[in-house]
Structure formats: structure tokens, C-alpha cells
Amino acid sequence: MMMKWREWALATGVLAVSAMAQAAPPSAAMLANACAGCHGTNGGSAGPSMPSLANQSKPAIVEAMKKFKSGERPATVMGRLAKGYTDADFDAMGEFFSKQKLHVTTQTLDKAKIAKGASLQESNCGRCHIEDGKEGKDDTPVMASQWLPYMQMQMADYQSGKRKMPEKMAEKVKPLSAADLEALLHFYASVK
Amino acid sequence: MTLDRRSFLKLVGVSAGATGAAALPMIGRAAELMPKSGKRVVVIGGGYGGTIAAKYIRMMDKSIEVVLIERNDHFVSCPFSNLYLGGLMKDLAPLTIKYDKLAANHGIKVVQAEVTGIDPAAKSVTTSKGTLAYDRLVVSPGIEFRTDEIKGYDASTPDIMPHAWKAGPQTILLRKQLEAMKPGGNVIISIPLAPFRCPPGPYERASMIAMYLKQHKPGSKVIVLDANPDIVSKKGLFLKGWKKHYESIIDYRPAKKVTEIDVKNMAVLIEGLEEVKGDVINLIPAQKAGHIAHVAGLVGEDKKWCPVNPTTFESKLHKDIHVIGDSSIAGAMPKSGYSANSEAKVCATNIVALMNGKEITELSAINTCYSYLSAKEAVSVTGVYKVNAEKQVIEGVPGSVAVSPDLSEAEAIYAESWLKNILTEMST
């Protein structure tokens, strides 16, 4: 009897399934740890063109991943990698990274630009980039302590039209000069 | 493990000539290096896999003691070492990590020693400094070369025809040979049959060396002798880059397996017949799992690589021993630095679960690997990996395993941060 059941189980793949049943589906940490090779341990990036994900808002991460997957947001590797995951995976990754503490970067910034950016940010960006960019309204990303080169690359994509700017952002950005925008990015990069 | 008497005496620091057999009963076995009190994981190899396995085990469970054994006091990254060969880096410093911060930040005990044997039954590792007991062992030794498959190859061959497939002195030697070569000279790159460490690596190397020759050695060529029937990875992109930048410099020849060498005449022989001469010969032999994997009986029927459980990376041949990185058979995951990093985290997660009697977690892993075509252009291959439950093998998730659409300056910028982040992960 035993042998017969085993043969039947092998033939139908029941054994293989039951072997796998011992492993839980990938946890948020399992999913997120795989990202850390490029984005740093727990999402604290050491590479200036790679954004830190630590302490990023969950809705911002989920939205970014969905837009990478659909192709709406321009990308190099991220559009391809996002295709390997489900919306539920994005939720789990967003949850994981949003709970990590802010990764404070040490980068060379211009003091005069920081001061100028500080004077511009509240009236121009503050409605969505809340608390000096430490928080974000809805799916607005956290900007505090983010890498300046990363933000500059994103702003260049916005300006060239490669990446679509949210309407409210476009209204605010349009009247600002290139020097104003640069100052704002220095300011956000400086927030700790 | 088996040791002949001479190796055994050498191991325990006794001169065979002076003391001889009389000393044997006294020493019995090598002294224990660090007595084990609580739970302990020993990790062999301080590269892309081993450092990360050690770190993540400690991050997830501070009650587990982790001992990392590495023969060197530093590690030099193979990824990006082709940029040094091309002259884009003045030295290997940007590719070199030390272990002090990793050890201090996570309480990892780093032992600089050579591992000479593993006893799976006694759960003990023998090193040049003594033995270490373990509850679980992680083996991440990278690759070894199948030099016996090349007639005429001996211990001195790499000094003349460097492989430079383990970064460090070999990389520096190859660079020096390129610098010393007369203009108009030919560089041979001999690529072994797949699978080998870093599938796009040889083709990136051809690109970087061609870039250097174009600028500094007019009239020189790179002759690529590929044992494989075609370019193994990122084929369309390499061909495009070569056509754009190095059309008259790279001479790519598929299905040319080097089986014999003539060191005196600086020549290689394809299938023992066709002779090709080079002024610089970068001879990359076929590969297999790191030496210790063979000594410890972790290598499968193919006598090359280590079969593992795709969820835990536990050896299919020895209980409580896990093999990660280049040495392991990880299904569709390529033998890359990023794969080793990702596998190490999956392995660490499940080692911690198993040691705490908890449920293991399914693998979710990534590979992201960049190759430079010129000083400012790079391309990449990506993949997200999961285990096929029925077949019990690691497979790529459809859609995620893909290469860049074109050569890209943005990818070269991102690649620099890739290096910065992955080496920081390993060293802090």
C-alpha cells in the first residue's frame, strides 16, 4: 500500500508540492534584501546615482515600482526587474523599506545653494514634500538626505519630458530657474 | 578529508624531517582554534557570497556566533577589474575591501587562515591555524581552474599566460603585459566552455583591452578565441559595441577551444591543431567549484559543481553544509557577484530559520550585472529568480530576465554606484 501511494504521489507531483509547502512564501525581508546589493543594506545607499530606499514612503515605492513595470517611468534596469514582481510584492517591499530608519548621507553640498533652496522650498514644494522633504503627501517621495546626483538625474528626465511630471509639480516647477531647482535639490540633500 | 602524512605534519606545524612519525601520536589532531560554546556558523570564503552570508546571519540572529575564514586579509573584486585592464582605473584600490569594519559592526569573528579540510561527520573545519567546530557551515570558495584540460599547462603558466580571472596580482600582471607590449602586437583572450564565472566577463574584457589598444597601441588586435559556439551573454550588445568602437581591433572567433599551449613560443593550439600566436595571452581555463569543495566531497556527479537545495542552499551531499556563489548549482542564476550576494541572503535567512526550528522561506533573488563597452557606455543583464516548486530548480521570472535595449551612458553611471553599494554591503 505504502509503495503504491508513493508511486501515485510521485507521478502526480504531490510529493514535490508537499515538500515546497514547508517553505513560507517570500517575506518582505526576503524580497527587499535582494534589492540591497544595489540600494544598500536595508536600503541605505552608498552610491550617489542609486537612491536610498530606507525610510522612503510606502506609497511612493509602490507607485514607482508599478510605473517601472508598466514602462510609464523611464528606467535602465528597474523596468526589467519590476516585471519579476507582483503588486503584492511591491506592497511588501514598500512596507519593509518605509520602516527602516533614514539613511543620512555625507555628500559635498553648496552652503549658499542650501540656503537659497531653504527659502524656496516651503512656498514651492512644501505642500507635497512635507516637513522639509522628510515626509511626502500621498505617493510623494521622501527627499530628505537623498543623493544629489540621483535627484539631478531625475530632474533632468523631468525637464526633458522623458519622465512625466505630476501636474501640480509641473505648475510649480515651470516658473523656477535652473539655478532655483539646483538650489532646491541641494537643500533636500542636506536635510538630516 | 584525506591528508597524506607530509601535508598533515605541515598543517600542524611539525617539520617532517626533524621529528618524523614519533610526533604523530602526540599531536593526534590539530588544536582547536576557538572552542565552541553556543550556536555557531562557520563561513568559508570572504568574497561576494561569504561576507554577505556572515553579515546577514548576524543581522538576523545575534545569538549565533559567526566565524568567517578567509586566506587573505583583503578581497579584490573581479567585477570592474576589466576597467583596470582598460586603463580606466589607476590601481585596484577601488575594488579592494578589508574586513575590519564588517567584523566590528556585526560582531563577526574573522580568521585569516587556509582551510584544508572539512569533516562533515564531526562537523569540524580544519584550517592552517587549527580546527573549528560548527553547527552549520557555509562554503563560498569561488572557482578553481580545470588546468588539466590544457596540455602543457603547469604551475608557472599563469605567470606567463595570466588568467586574471581571480582579481589581484594576476590582473596587475596582465595589465603590465599589455603596457609592455609593442604597438602592432596581438593579444589573445582564450574563453573556456560555459559555465564559467561571470558569463559576460570575457567579452567585456575584450572591449576594455581593445579600448586601451585603440588609444595606446596602434595596429594591435585582440584575437578572441571562444570555445563556445557563440558569444555566451549580451551577444547583440557586444557585437554592436564592437562594430561601433573596435571594428578593426577585435577579431572574434567562435568554436575555438584551446586544448594545448606552447609557452616558449607564446602560442596556443586549438583542438591540438591550429596554432595561434600572441604577444600577450590571457588564457582563461575552464572552471569548477573552489578547491575546498572538492576536498570536502561537496561536488556532484559532474565532478565540477556543487548540487544544493534551491531554497536553503544546503548541500545535497552533506547535511548542515551550505554552498553558495560560483561553486553552487543555482539553476538559472548566473555565476556572478550579484547572484552570490543574493544567494547568500537567502541562505542566511534559512540557516537562521533552521537553527531556530522555524519555517524556511522560499527564495526570491536578483541578478544585476553590468558590462562596459567603452569608457562611458555600459550595458546590463537583469533577472528576478524564484524556485519552480514542481521541478525544484531556480528559474528566472519571465520578463525580468533581459538585457539593455542599447549601449547606455546612464547605465555606466549606475554601474559605478552598483560597485560602490555592493562593496559597501560586503565591507560594513
Average pLDDT across chain A, whole number:
91
Nearest chain B Cα to A76, which residue? Answer: B411
Q: Is B170 on the interface with A (CB under 8 A)?
A: no
Tell me whether residues B421 and A16 touch, CB distance under 8 A. no
Q: Give me the number of domains chain B comprises.
A: 2
Q: What is the pLDDT along chain B (428 residues), one digit of tens a residue?
A: 444 544 444 444 444 444 444 444 444 567 999 999 999 999 999 999 999 999 999 999 999 999 999 999 999 999 999 999 999 999 999 999 999 999 999 999 999 999 999 999 999 999 999 999 999 999 999 999 999 999 999 999 999 999 999 999 999 999 999 999 999 999 999 999 999 999 999 999 999 999 999 999 999 999 999 999 999 999 999 999 999 999 999 999 999 999 999 999 999 999 989 999 999 999 999 999 999 999 999 999 999 999 999 999 999 999 999 999 999 999 999 999 999 999 999 999 999 999 999 999 999 999 999 999 999 999 999 999 999 999 999 999 999 999 999 999 999 999 999 999 999 999 99
Tell me, yes or no, whether B320 and B279 share the same domain. no
Q: Report yes or no on B33 lying in a domain.
A: no
Tell me, yes or no, whether B356 and B395 share the same domain. yes
Q: Report yes or no on B273 lying in a domain.
A: yes
Nearest chain B Cα to A74, which residue? Answer: B410
Give the residue from B346, B356, B413 with the most A CB atoms within 10 Å of its CB, the best one to mutate. Answer: B413
> pLDDT tens digit string along A160-171?
999 999 999 999
Q: By C-alpha distance, which of B22, B24, B114 is closest to B73?
A: B114
Task: Give me A132's grid cell.
Answer: 522639509
Q: Is B414 on the interface with A (CB under 8 A)?
A: yes
| Residue after which a domain boundary falls, among B253, B285, B317 | B285
Name every chain A residue with its beta carbon within 8 A of the beta carbon of B387.
20
Give the residue from A14, A15, A38, A68 with the most B CB atoms within 10 Å of its CB, the best one to mutate. Answer: A38
> pLDDT tens digit string along A55-102?
999 999 999 999 999 999 999 999 999 999 999 999 999 999 999 999
Q: Report yes or no on B10 lying in a domain.
A: no
Q: Is B412 on the interface with A (CB under 8 A)?
A: no
| Residue after which a domain boundary falls, among B243, B259, B285 | B285
Tell me, yes or no, whether B380 and B263 share the same domain. no
pLDDT at A22: 80
For A72, the 3-state DSSP assignment is coil
Tell me, yes or no, whether B299 and B261 share the same domain. no
Tell me, yes or no, whether B245 and B190 share the same domain. yes
pLDDT at A4: 52
pLDDT at A13: 45
Q: By C-alpha distance, which of B136, B336, B352, B314 is closest to A30?
A: B352
Delineate the domains of chain A, giving CATH numbers in brackets: 25-98 (1.10.760.10), 111-190 (1.10.760.10)
B46 in Cβ contact with B108 (< 8 Å): no
Tell me, yes or no, whether B423 and B294 share the same domain. yes
Tell me, yes or no, whether B139 and B234 share the same domain. no
pLDDT at B230: 98
Distance from CA of A42 to the nearest CA of B (A): 10
pLDDT at B30: 74
CATH code of the domain covering residue B280: 3.50.50.60
Tell me whether residues A24 and B408 touch, CB distance under 8 A. no
Q: Report yes or no on B419 lying in a domain.
A: yes
Residue pairs between chains A and B whose CB atoms are closer than 8 Å? 145
Tell me whether residues A83 and B400 touch, CB distance under 8 A. yes
Name every chain A residue with its beta carbon within 8 A of the beta carbon of B338.
37
C-alpha B97/C-alpha B77 separation (Å) is: 8
C-alpha B208/C-alpha B152 separation (Å) is: 28
Tell me, yes or no, whether B190 and B247 share the same domain. yes
Give the residue from A20, A39, A41, A89 with the most B CB atoms within 10 Å of its CB, the best one to mutate. Answer: A41
Nearest Cβ partner for B399 among A16, A48, A83: A83
Tell me whether residues B338 and A37 touch, CB distance under 8 A. yes
Q: Report yes or no on B391 lying in a domain.
A: yes
Tell me, yes or no, whether B169 and B135 share the same domain. no
Tell me, yes or no, whether B314 and B248 share the same domain. no
Tell me whether residues B414 and A24 touch, CB distance under 8 A. no
- In the numeric block, the cell 539613511 is attached to A103
Tell me, yes or no, whether B160 and B268 share the same domain. yes
Q: In terms of DSSP bridges, do strands A23-24 and B360-361 run parallel, antiparallel, or are they unpaired?
A: parallel
Tell me, yes or no, whether B263 and B349 share the same domain. no
- Identify the domain containing residue B155 by its residue range: 151-285
Tell me whether residues B417 and A80 touch, CB distance under 8 A. no
What is this structure's pTM?
A: 0.92
Q: Is B354 on the interface with A (CB under 8 A)?
A: no
Name every chain B residue with its beta carbon within 8 A of the beta carbon of A51.
none
| Residue after which a domain boundary falls, among B285, B304, B336 | B285
Distance from CA of B427 to the nearest CA of A (A): 11
Name every chain A residue with its beta carbon within 8 A of the beta carbon of B311.
23
Nearest chain A Cα to B420, which residue? Answer: A47
